[in-house]
Amino acid sequence: MTGAAGAARAGAIGGLAAGLIAIVPALLGSSGDGRIVGYAALLAVLISVQVGARAAALAPAGFAARLAAAALIAVLASALYGLALYLLYAALRPQLLTLRYSAYEAALWTSGLSPERQAAGLAELAARRAQYLDPAYQAVEGAGLALFCGLVLGAYGAFRARVAGRLGPRPG
């Protein structure tokens, strides 16, 4: 699995895996407010970037080619993950964002903070209510986080492969 086609394949597989991880537990009703499932889906995106970038690193390619492969994987996986999140929040389980917002609000009420800090936290949460409850915003935010983390991981992998190439084979 080398080149742009291999990177595209790894990105598609990672994005589909992340999307399924996000959607299937919600359809089964076993995801609670969905935060743990969201982290697991993010992990699937990062694993696809790591595995795809390592496979691209096996080919005789320079730093730029490895970085481009990792970026392609991250973009595709994140885009598919974002589409799955939007489908989840807008169509499959539209009450999920309200449930999550209520959990944040309840956590503030029972936090044991001073009344001033509690009021400030509730006011901040209320000011961002529209963002918390907007399926498109939440999908873009989740995909953006996955993209950023994937790009950082891919850049590190490309840099690491370049340094390893300069140092030569490891003694063994």
Tell me, yes or no, whether 29 lies in a domain: yes
Residue 172 pLDDT greater than 60, yes or no = no
**So what's the pLDDT on residue 51?**
81
Residue 79 pLDDT greater than 90, yes or no = yes
Dist. CA 158–CA 162, nearest whole Å: 6
Residue 1 pLDDT greater than 60, yes or no = no
Q: Are 23 and 88 in contact (CB under 8 A)?
A: yes
Tell me, yes or no, whether 158 lies in a domain: yes
Residue 171 pLDDT greater than 70, yes or no = no
Q: Are 124 and 29 in contact (CB under 8 A)?
A: no
| Number of domains forming the structure of the chain | 1
pLDDT tens-digit readout, 13-37: 888 998 898 888 877 776 566 678 8
**So what's the pLDDT on residue 65?**
83
Tell me, yes or no, whether 108 lies in a domain: no
- What are the E-state strand segments in the chain? none
Tell me, yes or no, whether 110 lies in a domain: no
| Residue-range definition of the domain harbouring residue 158 | 3-94+135-167
What's the average model confidence in pLDDT over 127-138? 95
Tell me, yes or no, whether 122 lies in a domain: no
pLDDT tens-digit readout, 37-54: 878 888 888 888 888 777
pLDDT tens-digit readout, 99-121: 889 988 998 889 888 999 999 99
Q: Are 117 and 56 in contact (CB under 8 A)?
A: no
Tell me, yes or no, whether 102 lies in a domain: no
**So what's the pLDDT on residue 49?**
81
Report CA-CA distances (Å) from 16 to 39, 69, 152: 15, 18, 21
**pTM score, whole prediction:** 0.84
Tell me, yes or no, whether 42 lies in a domain: yes
Residue 169 pLDDT greater than 90, yes or no = no
For residue 122, the Cα-to-chain-centroid distance in whole angstroms is: 27
Tell me, yes or no, whether 68 lies in a domain: yes
